[in-house]
Structure 1
Amino acid sequence: MESTIAIITGIIGLIVGFVIAKFMEKGKASKTITNAKREAASIIKGAKLEGETTKKDKIFQAKEKFLELKAEHEKVIINKNKKIAEAEKRTRDKESQISNELARNKKLNEQLERKMKDVDHKTEFYEKKQSELEKLHKSQVQQLEVISGLSAEEAKSQLLESLKETAKTDAMAYMQTTLEEAKLTAQQEAKKIVINTIQRIGTEEAVENCVSVFNLESDDVKGRIIGREGRNIRALESATGVEIIVDDTPEAIILSCFDSVRREVARLSLHKLVTDGRIHPARIEEIVKKTEKQIEQEIVEVGKRTVIDLGIHGLHPELIRAVGRMKYRSSYGQNLLQHSREVAKLCGVMAAELGLNPKLAKRAGLLHDIGKVPNTEAEVETPHAILGMQWADKFGEKPDVCNAIGAHHDEIEMKTLISPIVQVCDAISGARPGARRQVLDSYIQRLKDLEDIAFGFGGVQKAYAIQAGRELRVIVESEKVSDDKAAQLSFEISQKIQTDMTYPGQVKITVIRETRSVNVAK
């Protein structure tokens, strides 16, 4: 019984404890809910404040943007109004000009009408005079018929017969005189016709000898070649001595220089620079130097190919180089290498026909003009035939070849049978219509003389004749020539040119002094 009561008491205690625990848990939950509501209310309040602030900022930014757009719009409107005002002014000016033109045309029309009336009056007057003259002429003819006893038709026929006889006699005399004059002047006129024909044919070759055209993929490259403030094109002209003409010609640049080696160096350098894409003064100088070395190698290759094609063996390397340089030289407008090859072939054929040594004749024909190829030791006063003979003798050529070279312009006596053959073949090659043009050769010589005069002064580093000889551009060493000395040098060169040379027009002398500061970072 007591154990049962104890069990019941324990159960009741458990129930009471459970109930008390539930009540305590419910109180904690209500406190948690209250705290959560407070936190939610504070978060909502903070969010509202932040939203109001953001809203005010956006409204302020929108107002600023609106004001900026409004200001830009007002500027656009002001510019448009200004343009409209200018257009209205131009329109008013044109209207006033048109009104003036109309008034002037009106005056001209009135003058024209007055002149037309005068012409009508004069026409009527002339018609009256014409009718009076006809009446007088008829009366005079009738009087003459009565006096002469002949009718007008009979008198006309007699007059015509006498005029015919006189005309025949005069015509025969005129024909005889014309035939005699034609016989006297026929040869002279024929020469004039031949000369005019040669000049027309030779013009194309003469132009090609002074100008090259460098083609571009697009005109955008021209700006890169010119460079900022023209620095690139000035550096290129200074390094090569070639005038570079950039004009409106689409996708093309013109290279102008009397020296074809310089022109070829400039053309190849431009090609490398445009292909590479890096165009600036330092790069230009580097590429030009490399191209000059490449041209020297190409000259040797051209000389070797030429002697191999002609079957000439054992030629000295210096003479081979001289033959290669002929490719970039001209004689009276004729390419020197092509002329020498042609003379060599003609000499070989003629020597074979005469039973002489054709190989020796070819050798002399190829080398007969090597004296025209410039050397570092320029002997300007020596004739090219004598100079070529000295070169050939210096580099071990046979006496027969040396004599043929020196005697092909009769500077020395001919001692072998090959000498007249070379002289005749040289004349044949040069006498072809359009082959030569003496004016071009004298023009090129004048440009070379201009450069030589500049090199005769101290401190001159480079000298280039440009603008068809109308300008001499002289580059001096900054260490040796000061600014004042440069001005004095320009004057002295101009006086030297005036004294020593004969030339058309004027020659502008430009002395360029450039100071460079170079340091090396190690």
Structure 2
Amino acid sequence: MSFTLAILGIILALVAGLALGYLIRVKQGKARLQSVEQLSQKIMDDARREAETLKKEALLQAKDQLYQMKVEFEEQTKERRQELNQWEKRLSQKEESQDRRALKFESREQEFLKRENKLAEAEKVVSKSQSKYQELVNKQKQVLEEVAGLTQQQAKAQLISAIEQEARHEAAKSLRLIESEVRESADKKAQEILASACQRYAGDYVTEKTVSVVPLPSDEMKGRIIGREGRNIRAIEAATGIDLIIDDTPEAVILSGFNPMRREIARIALERLISDGRIHPARIEEVVKKAQQEVEASVKEAGEQATFDVGVHGIHPELVKIIGRLKYRSSYAQNVLQHSLEVAFLCGTMASELGINPKHAKRAGLLHDIGKALDHEIEGPHAVIGADLAKRYGEKPHIIHAIQAHHEDVPLNSVLDVLVQAADALSGARPGARREMLESYVKRLEDLERIADSFEGVSKSFAIQAGRELRIVLEAAKTSDDKALMLAKDVARKIEDEMVYPGQIKVTVIRETRAVDYAK
């Protein structure tokens, strides 16, 4: 019983302890909750106070900005108002000036109307006087026609022809006097300059041809060159663009073509094929390519050597290559590169005699026929093509004009232009420099004599000095000395218009009076 009571006492004590602990925890929780609520209330109060301060600061800043913007706006509007006031003043001034001008124009219009009325009245008076004057003139004309026995047109024609004859006569006299005075000084100086230039430079005679001959070790080689069913010869012609002529000529093959550069490539390639002995299409193409490279290298070397020989520097490398191509170009069977070198040396010599810069003269002389290197590829006169090339590669304007003017495609306008033209004529016209076909040579002589015989008063004409001179014999009874002078110029102009020829042609007109009598 006592044990049971003890257990109950313990249980009661435990229950009482648990209840007490619970009450204590509840009390502590309430206290913590109150402290948390106080803390949160404090935080909220602080946040409200900070928000109010921030709001007040923002309002103050906004008021400051509004005030500043208001001040700036007032300043801008003040400036604009001042500008508008100035513009209003200007507009008012302009309106006043326009009004004054309008008043002046109105007054002038009134003056013009008055003048027009006066002019109209004056025109009426003049027209009346003109009609009267015309009537008097017509009456006088009728009287003069009746007295002279000629109409007005006939008298006018006679008067014009008489004045024209007199003017031509006086012009011929003046021309003879001027030419005689100029010739005394100019001919002597020109002859000295040309003779000095020719003596100081003497070139080779022409040896260029349009065919090349390749020697063969034996006639059996002809069959190997032709190949089976002609495949080798076709391959050579296709690769080089040159015709191979294999005929009865012993131990020789003829290469024919208008392009000397291609002909040289074909000659080198064929000689190597013959020496090597291996002749078939693949080998032909390989050898032709190597020969082409060698010829291109020789072209560049020839251009560089030409510029070095002449003493001209600073020419564009592409232009130097084009100069080298002239080595394989001929004109009237004259090598164009040698011709260009001759012209350069002659230009330099004559420029030194005349006190002109010889380097510029040599440069223009060397480049004057540069267009002939490409005239078979580009249409147009070689002088114009050469001028375009020189311009493209940075040559100076006076050099370009000298190139373009040496055949008078454009007018000559400087001493350098005349020097290049004269040196070109000297190089091409010297004996042996150029070669012509017999047919063209004979035709040129016949054309010269035909042109001379077409003029009135010509008795006989003779083309001499290989067509470099034309001598005309006149009938003395039908012409005068003055007419002979004009005839020489007319014949020269007609030759220039109708013929194409290298160099220049001298026209000599001869008129003489012969008195014949017989002693019996």
Same fold (TM over 0.5): no
- Give the TM interval when normalised to the shorter protein: 0.3 to 0.5
TM-score when normalising by structure 2: 0.43
Q: Which is greater in Rg?
A: 2
